Structure 1
Amino acid sequence: MAEGVVFAVLCKIGSVLTSSASISLGARLDAKLTVISEIENRMKQIEVELKLMQAFLRQAQKQEGYGEPTEVYLQEVRTAAFEIEDIIDEFLYLSAKHKSRYFNGELMSYFRKLGKSSWHKIARELKDMQSHLQNLRNLRVQYEIQLPNGSSGVSTDARDHRLPHHLSYPADEMVGVEKERKLVIQWLNARASWTSVITVWGMGGSGKTTLVDGIYQDERIKNQFDCHIWITVSQKFNTSDIIRKMVRQILQRACPSNIDSLDGRDLTETLQRILKHRKILLVLDDVWSTDVWMDLSGTVTRSNNYGNKVIITTRIKEVASLASEEQVLELQKLNDADSWLLFCRWAFKNSMDRACPPDMESLGREIVGKCDGLPLAIVTVGNMLSFRKQDMEEWNRCNDQLTWELRDRLRDQELSSVMKILKLSYKHLPSHLKNAFVFCSIFPEDYKITKKRLVRLWVAEGLIKLEKRRTVEEVAEEYLDELVDRCLLQVVERKHFRKVKEFQMHDIVRELAISISEKENFCMMHGKSQLGEPEYRCRRLSIHEHNDRIMSLSDASLLRSLYHFDITCSSFPSAGTARSSRYLNVLELQSVPVTVLPEELSGLFNLRYLGLRRTKIKQLPRSIDKLFNLQTLDVYLTSVDKLPAGITKLKRLRHLLAGKLSAPLYCGILETSRGVEVPKFAWESMELQTLKGVLTNMDLVEHLGSMTQLRTLAIEDVEEQHYPRLFASISKMYFLRTLKILAAEGNQGLSFDQLSYPPQNLRKLRLNGRLHRSVMESPFFQTVGAKLQKLHLSGSKMNIDPFLSISCLPNLKLLTVDDIYDGESVVFESGWFPKLHTLIMTNLSSIRSMAMEQQSMQSLQWLAMVNFPELKEVPRGIESVVSLQNFMLVNMHDEFMERIQGEDKVRVQHILTVRYLDRTRGMERRLFQD
């Protein structure tokens, strides 16, 4: 993590040196005032020193077990990096102030009168830091601070990352994986004349090794192979060592005496000769790199064609892809029932029935819940409790301490093995992912993190390494995918009527991230239960529970990021004002019910991210244009109905998310917002990627053409006079993926004819207004139809079936239609909407009948019908849509509701959940559920 701090400072130095701001500032000053040039030169020298230091630290992150001198050295490096960052931030602060005075014609007089001493102070501090860095380098040599040697790469007993022997358990003790076990055995039994690879992957502690070991030891499996080889491969590997290990396992006592001296080609030829007439079962356990099998495959596959089988266990999706797609098994966490069963087998292993006493079951289930379905943790905790007195007082004490013990803060050595195993996943991360992983610990337990929010926060925090030809957001999304593929973040699919991807940390993985964060002073978590007076000398503060002690920060000037998650607190945090922490990068207050922003907020010149989503803020500071570095402004679903004029001057703004809440969440179906008014000034934000939830005016339309980096554009109240210029601008937006255009009330609406030149990358589209001719025949849909994934149409009120025009869109996954049809019947024909996942139909007030033919919408999982006052029958053929899982009904005819609960109930009995909401009566109920 020290390397991560240095990485962030290097990014900041690079940004300063490449910026024209400081150079141009120096050029404007009097030639005798050379202090700016001196500052920049010293920054360059410090940059070189830090890069050399970073190389050493990168190696340190890959090692463990270094002594106390090295620990002290790493801490000193971290402190030095923070001090350098403070100096640079002060330099940027003064530059920003002088820049504003330059535009007011006051720069030179102000510099001479007040600023000169400040610049010289920065120069002196940088000079002192140069000396300090050089001294650290000398001390490293003087005290011979070195890193320990790496391991050989092949672990014979795997004591460093396996369960203690007394916690290993036989295959017949496993629960919840019988289907997975049968599947792997089926793959092993499949006949083949080639070497077949099977992969089993999942997070650390999910039971991969235990599952495979049970199969490996099965005599019925052993009898199918001439020899069996088990190699545990740790993070670093040596191909020669692995081959040598394979030879030893096969030949055992007959192994050549010179095996240790063989290497390279001789060793490979020896293995090939041994395998030539043998059918083998090879297990490569705990593989971290595809190179392991790549280096071995040639030797194994060329040895014979007897149908060898190779099983690879791994935590990394990329490694799992070494097998063909149909022979990849991902182990999921255990469900509640299986978790409880496994826990009881260990917690009550000394009793005959292995059953939990009834009076302790509730508490026991609470303890199991903290293990979150991870077999390793369940076995460890259960075994620990088996040696404790089985009464409520003892178990309550264990429950209270469990979280702390999982962080390895208490003496229990068994629980430390859980974290030790999981920590390998962190240790093996590339350096650029380590900060991104630890960052996720700032969120409360079980918190669901949306993809775009996490990406924007990473960018604002400076955790993303810049790459050529790609935006930082694109690189950040790649980081996110990597953490998911390494099982360090879990994908959550919330069961609404649209597929929403969110991310969550497994509870125990989160404890690992927290333990690293606290050790490295990455972030301080604050809660009401916290004992003693907190020491907030870290760069980030995450408030989970607010109390009065949070107001007395010991040194808020050090703070760079403030996250507030207590939705019961309505007071604005004092640490978020320029008076207390003027160098703040991130201020995230999402869902906190604050009502007023202090005007001095505009003094946070360094602010990159201002998150106010779902707060009760009604207006933004008028001087918001002073937030020179603002990248993300999120005021979505607030009470803000007008943006201040200064918003148009924020040149570095990348994401503007607005929209006033106009309707509540519609039972998980829809949440609608009303656009906010924007100023009628020239827009200077040329870096905008997201512009969402704003009302249109001519000034905005005039400048849209220069916003060529837009990925998301959502505008409302579009007048007919705007259309020509608007669509001309849209045609220049090559990167645009999401487009929402809502016509002004009283307008005829826009037709697809006017969208003749759409962006090539468009995937999501929302339009209102009449469709003047067949949609599929328009140039617009001929261009984007094949790529479109989400479509929302409203207000068309056609008298011909509109579904026919869009039914064959090959990749459409979500379709929302609202008040688009005046006809009386709809028939979804065979072959329509082949990939549609979600269909939401609202306000089709004239529909009297609906039918779904065989083979229509065969991928449909979510169906919502809202306000069908004339429909009295359940859609005919709905029973043929076998993929349907959820069916939501809102404000339906009484006769419809009687039939679906009576004579037509059999037609929807295959649907997992059917719910009904009567908004006029203010009631919601679940009709039935399997």
Structure 2
Amino acid sequence: MAESVVNVSLGILRDLLVEETKFLLSVGGDVNKVKGDLRSMHALLMKADRERRDSPTLKLYISQLRDLAEKAENLLETYAVEVESKREGRRSLKEKFQRYICIMCECNSVHKVGKEARRVISALAELTNKLESELGRESSSHSKQEDERRRLLRQTYAHEVEHDFVGMGEDIEILVSKVKDETRRKRVVKIYGMGGLGKTTLARKVYHHRDLQSYARAWVCITQQFEHKAVFSKILKQLDSNAKVDGLEVEDMVTRIHSLLVARKCVIVIDDIWEDVHWEIIRKAFPVNCNVILTTRYENIAHQQSEPHKLRFLTQDEGWALLQKVADFSPVDADLKSFEDIGRQIASKCEGLPLSICVIGGILRQNEHTLAECRKINVNIGSYLRHGEGVEEYTRVKQVLELSFDALPYYLKPCFLYLACFPEDHKIGTEKLYLLWMAEGFISHQDNGPNETLRDVAQRYLTELAMRCMVQLHEAEIYSPRDKFDWCGVHDLMHDLCSSKAEEENFLKRIDASKYLCGSSSGRRLAIPSSMGNSISRLAISYKFGSVSSIGRLEELKDLRSFMLLKTGLLFGPHKIGFKEGSINFEMSQCLRILVVDCVEFEGGKLPSKVSELIHLRLLSLMFSNVRELPMSVCNIPYLQTLDLRDQYKVVIRLPNVIWKMKRLKHLFLGRRIEVIGGEKLRLEGLDELETLDEITSETARIADISKLIILRSLCVTVCDVDSMSLVSSNKNSQLCETKLVVKSCDLSSKKGREVLSGGLMSPSLATLDMYVCNMSGSFPYYKQGMCQNLVKLRLIDCKVKVDIMEFGKYPMLQLLLLEGVETTETLICRSNSFPQLKNLRLHHLEDLRKWEVEERAMPKLTSLWIDGCRNLEKVPDGLRLLISTPREIRISSMPVEFMERVKEEDYAPFVKLGNY
């Protein structure tokens, strides 16, 4: 765990020392010395993380290093900001005289930095010596015995019997049939999933299946302490009981195993494999016809050689059945139905994880089976799962989950711990998570490859956590080439592990506002518990319902680096938290890097005046807050990367025309309704590091500046005239990955207008196109090669245009199509293989549409169909019967009575919702 705590500070220091060296002209030698010492310290910490995770002395040294790194980081940033501001050009004689005075001050600043750098060097050297001494000590015999005990507890054996087994019947049959199928090209099956899902149990059931008893078989458990010679020895002994392995070299063992298997039907189970390199070593012993079953927590193990089999969570019925078996239910209470109701609630709270169900079942088995006892356990199930109440199985649960955490590489540990900011069962927006990780410094510049941004690296990190089964990614209903997943979640037990580790290492603290409210309903106040202490680096406060007038004790906190107020319920609504001018003592929290105050009611509708003095701030989020005007001084926050001003559509936010001065701004989110103070359009030129611009409109922003944002990756823009649309469509920025274009009340009937529209449809970055009340005076452009190659959403609403819907079926990536109030052909024929990616089809008020036919293999991925107000449509197409197994949603409204009655008689009637929507 050592690395996860300090790696962030080391990474930030490393990047800062690279970026800011140009300002440290007179202390360059000392700065380089610090950089070298940090590299040595980093190597030591990696060793510490592997060897002595539980050392109290080591934890003390790590805490000292973290404080030292943060101190150096803030010193460098402050110095860079002061010198940079003083070196800006001055012209007048008076300013030149002031500049001479500033030079003297700078010399003093440089001297201070040099002096402080030497202190850092000295302190790092002292800590290095202490760490080396601590790590150089021989582990005690007790420690060695404990390590061996843990290893033996994790060891699995083929002969073990699973007494309590539920579900997986289909999985067993699938895997057995794969083993028996000698025509398969890939003979390796990989069972993967989160710790505690029952991967070993499933492998053991297949291994002992009656149809495979004649096969040559071997079972070997790898664990994290991989010893290839021992692995080959175990396999050889099981395949040949007379084999003499003593004195055999690894090469001889590999040859013997290969020769024993090459002409036989065989199945080998490699249980609990942790690294791909381990598989690469082991697989050399197996011939191509050898059936191998791997169990692992990592999706990417043996990725090219194996067929993946992802283990699912238990259903509610299966969870209840398993709980009954483990608990050995024979309730003395006569009310069996009540027992089942409570038991099902318990199983549901375990979220289908067999290991947690077995823990609770073990607790129930040790207690008297009374209704009162079951209710007690149901109410306090979280506590029982965390602490086990003396049940030995909990030790196994804790070990199983901690194994996954301990095996994380150093760069993923802080990313995982940061998930503790969010409450259980919260849908964590991936975009928000990326921005937070970047602002914290978890994503290093050294990790991004060619043409890769830090956001791309963050996305890669989250994917890796998912492949390690630490988080669960949710695929967006409609996804773009840039973003396939819109939110992620964490299983409750994994969240418990995350939260406990985060608090144990003083990494962050999260509190649920509902537990600390006081006062009357008209003036409720959130009182931060005094037990939390005054020195917290990261604080997240989550709240769901209810309004809070103010937050108490927040101003007493010092050294705050991250503060988040997270609304976890609906963003819209009356539930707000009041935030007064003095809520945070900014002088005590000058190191603040993240300030997330979503859905907050600021006193007077204004930001606290001292926010602009937070020179270390990276992320400022005011989403859905009541801020009506941004102060001019916001441009003085030199390191700000993300500014989020998205709001409710009724709110108008007044902006000073100074955002272009925020040179390090990378992600800018604006509300739909902004007003630029002074009347000019918002200037964007100068934002040379801007990657995300969401969203601007041609009415209030300088659209011509978009072409000057040379590394822009994501753009959301609304245009209301042909010239603005032309500027967006003709943008040649090769870095731009995704454009969301909204065209409102635009006259495109001219030759230029038609050319602009046709040219825009050829843009490879165009991902979303919404057109409202536009005049195209003719037909929508017909498809040609290369058109709309990445378009995933198309909405045409109340536009003067004739469309041939069949042409849209040629768009290769189109996933959502909404047509409303446009002219169409009388007959729509969805040809075979058309609309290959379409998931959501909405046809509203298409008066011309009369007949609709769907051929076989058209719209193969359709999941949602809405038909509304198409009064001349004779019937839903017969071909839709072919899609009935796929659609999750069919809605029909505002249609003639005859049409509705006809629908009720069709086979797909049970899938249809009739009415007005």
Secondary structure class of the residue paired with 1:262:
coil
Q: What is the distance in 1 between the residues matched to 2:782 and 2:144?
A: 65
Aligned length: 873
Looking at structure 2, the residues matched to 141 and 771 of structure 1 have their Cα atoms a distance apart, in angstroms, of 74
Match of 1:922 in 2: none
- The 1-side partners of 2:156 and 2:393 are apart by 9
Displacement of 1:523: 0.8
User: Of residues 602, 625, 634 in structure 1, which corresponds to 2:644?
Assistant: 634
Do 1:208 and 1:313's aligned partners in 2 also have CA atoms closer than 8 Å? yes
Q: CA deviation at 1:73?
A: 3.2
Q: Which amino acid aligns with 2:462?
A: L
Q: d(CA) in 2 for partners of 1:118 and 1:675? A: 38
Deviation at 1:353, TM superposition (A): 11
Partner of 2:754: 751
Query: What is the rounded CA distance, in whole Å, between the counterparts of 1:151 and 1:391 in structure 2?
Result: 44
Deviation at 1:790, TM superposition (A): 3.4
What SS does structure 1 have at the residue aligned with 2:419? Answer: helix
Q: Whole-Å Cα distance in 1 between the matches of residues 335 and 265 of structure 2?
A: 47
C-alpha distance in structure 2 between counterparts of 1:343 and 1:101, whole Å: 74
For residues 48-197 of structure 1, what are the structure 2 equivalents within 5 Å? 48-63=36-51, 66-92=54-80, 94-95=82-83, 98=86, 105=95, 108=99, 111=102, 123-142=114-133, 145-146=136-137, 159-161=152-154, 170=162, 173-192=164-183, 196-197=187-188
- Relative to 1, partners in 2 of residues 1:724 and 1:745: Cα closer, same or farther, differing over 3 Å? closer
Larger mean CA deviation between 481-490 and 360-369 belongs to 360-369
Deviations 1:594-615 (A, max 9, x none): 5543333222222222223333
> Within 5 A, what are the aligned runs for 1:650-689?
650-660=662-672, 679-681=681-683, 683-689=685-691
Q: Which moved more, 1:517-526 or 1:731-740?
A: 731-740
Taking the aligned partners of 1:400 and 1:798, their CA distance within structure 2 comes to 60
Displacement of 1:379: 0.9
Bigger CA drift: 313-322 or 549-558? 549-558
How far the C-alpha of 1:569 sits from its partner, in A, is 3.5
In the TM superposition, residue 806 of structure 1 has moved relative to its aligned partner by: 2.1
Is 1:454 the counterpart of 2:433 in the alignment? yes
SS of alignment partner, residue 159 of structure 1: helix
Q: Does structure 2 conserve the Cα–Cα contact (< 8 Å) formed by 1:194 and 1:301?
A: no
Mean alpha-carbon deviation: is it higher for 681-690 or for 862-871? Answer: 862-871
Residue number in structure 1 paired with 2:572: none
Instruction: Flag the 1:726–1:491 CA change in 2: closer, same or farther, 3 A.
Output: closer
Distance 1:699 1:513 in 2: 43
User: Is the alpha carbon distance of 1:853 and 1:841 closer, same or farther for their aligned partners in structure 2, counting shifts above 3 Å?
Assistant: same
Distance of 1:678 and 1:266 partners within structure 2: 80
1:221 maps to: 212
Match of 2:499 in 1: 514
Q: CA deviation at 1:659?
A: 3.4
**Cα shift at 1:918:** 3.1
The residue that corresponds to 2:723 in the other structure is: 721
Equivalent residue for 1:32?
Answer: none
Secondary structure of residue in 2 paired with 1:705: helix
Of residues 474, 482, 488, the one that matches 1:503 is 488
% identical equivalent positions: 24
Structure 1 residues 861 and 134: CA distance shift in structure 2, 3 A: same
Q: CA deviation at 1:488?
A: 0.9
The 2-side partners of 1:775 and 1:830 are apart by 22
1:300 paired residue number: 286
Provide the C-alpha distance between the structure 1 equivalents of 2:85 and 2:386, rounded to a whole number of angstroms: 45
1:696·1:716 contact (CA, 8 Å) conserved in 2?
Answer: yes
Please report the TM-score for the alignment, with normalisation by the length of structure 2.
0.85
Determine helix, strand or coil for the equivalent of 2:861.
Answer: coil
Query: Is it true that 1:541 corresponds to 2:539 in the alignment?
Result: yes
Q: CA deviation at 1:796?
A: 3.5
Q: How far does residue 47 in structure 1 lie from its aligned partner after superposition?
A: 2.3
Partner of 1:692: 694
Within 5 Å, which residues of 2 pair with 1:422-437? Answer: 422-437=401-416
| Paired AA for residue 862 in structure 1 | S
Q: Which amino acid aligns with 1:161?
A: R
The aligned amino acid for 1:18 is: V
- How far the C-alpha of 1:562 sits from its partner, in A, is 1.3
Query: Offset at 1:619?
Result: 2.9
User: Aligned match of 1:37 in 17, 26, 35?
Assistant: 26
Q: Which amino acid aligns with 1:127?
A: R
Q: Quote the offset at 1:161 in angstroms.
A: 3.2
> Is 1:338 equivalent to 2:289 in the alignment?
no
Equivalent residue, structure 1, for 2:865:
863
Q: 1:322 to 1:731 in 2, by over 3 A?
A: closer
Tell me the amino acid that sits aligned with residue 490 of structure 2. Answer: M
Q: What code does the residue aligned with 1:285 have?
A: D
The residue type paired with residue 738 of structure 1 is T
**How far has the Cα of 1:181 moved from its partner?**
1.4
| In 2, Cα distance between equivalents of 1:103 and 1:136 | 48
Cα gap change, 1:551 to 1:733, in 2 (>3 Å): farther
DSSP 3-state at the match of 2:801: coil
8 A Cα contact 1:731 1:757, kept in partner = no
Match of 1:442 in 2: 421
Rounded Cα–Cα distance in structure 1 between residues aligned with 2:427 and 2:700: 39
Say if 2:319 and 2:357, in contact at 8 Å, map to a contact too: yes
> What's the CA shift for 1:52?
0.8
Distance 1:505 1:558, change over 3 A: same
Normalising by structure 1, what TM-score? Answer: 0.84
Matched residue, 2:243: 255
Q: Between 848-857 and 96-105, report the one with greater CA deviation.
A: 96-105
What amino acid maps onto 2:314 in structure 1? L
Q: Which residues in structure 2 correspond to 1:246-325 (within 5 Å)?
A: 246-252=235-241, 254-256=242-244, 259-275=245-261, 278-301=264-287, 307-319=289-301, 321-324=303-306
Question: After superposition, where does 1:312-711 map in structure 2 within 5 Å?
Answer: 312-319=294-301, 321-324=303-306, 327-347=307-327, 349=328, 351=330, 357-391=336-370, 393-399=372-378, 401-408=380-387, 411-466=390-445, 467-469=448-450, 470-493=452-475, 501-528=486-513, 529=515, 533-545=531-543, 551-553=552-554, 556-566=557-567, 568-572=575-579, 578-592=586-600, 596-638=606-648, 639-660=651-672, 679-681=681-683, 683-696=685-698, 700-711=702-713
**Which whole-Å CA distance do the structure 1 matches of 2:640 and 2:178 have between them?**
55
Alpha-carbon displacement from aligned partner over 1:304-344 (angstroms, at most 9, x marks no partner): xxx432111111111153555xx421111112222122112
- Aligned-residue RMSD, C-alpha: 3.9
Q: Which residue identity lines up with residue 292 of structure 1 in the other structure?
A: H
SS of residue in 2 equivalent to 1:135: helix
What's the CA shift for 1:816?
2.9
Residue-by-residue CA offset, 1:654-710 (whole Å, 9 max, x unaligned): 22222338xxxxxxxxxxx99999834362112222222211159722222211322
Structure 1 residues 561 and 314: CA distance shift in structure 2, 3 A: same
Amino acid of the structure 2 residue aligned with 1:756: G
| 1:384–1:99 distance in 2 versus 1, CA, 3 Å | farther
The question of whether the paired residues in 1 share the 8 Å contact of 2:217 and 2:268 is answered with: yes
Q: Secondary structure at the match of 1:319?
A: coil
CA distance in 2, matches of 1:188, 1:235: 27
Distance 1:165 1:297, change over 3 A: closer
Residue matched to 2:903? 904
Q: Secondary structure at the match of 1:708?
A: coil
The answer on whether the counterparts of 2:747 and 2:776 sit within 8 Å (CA) in structure 1 is no
Change (3 A) 1:164 1:458: farther
Aligned-pair distance for 1:886? 3.0
Q: Can you give the 5+ residue segments of structure 2 that lack an aligned partner in the other structure?
A: 517-528, 569-574
What CA deviation, in whole Å up to 9, does each residue of 1:736-759 have, x standing for no partner? 322314145566594355553777
Distance 1:109 1:12, change over 3 A: farther
Q: Unaligned stretches of 5+ in structure 1?
A: 27-35, 662-672, 920-930
Aligned in 2, Cα 1:906/1:62: closer, same or farther, shift over 3 Å? Answer: farther
Say which is worse superposed, 617-626 or 587-596, in terms of deviation. Answer: 587-596
CA 1:876–1:249 in 2, change beyond 3 Å: closer, same or farther? closer
CA contact (8 A) 2:741 2:768 kept: yes
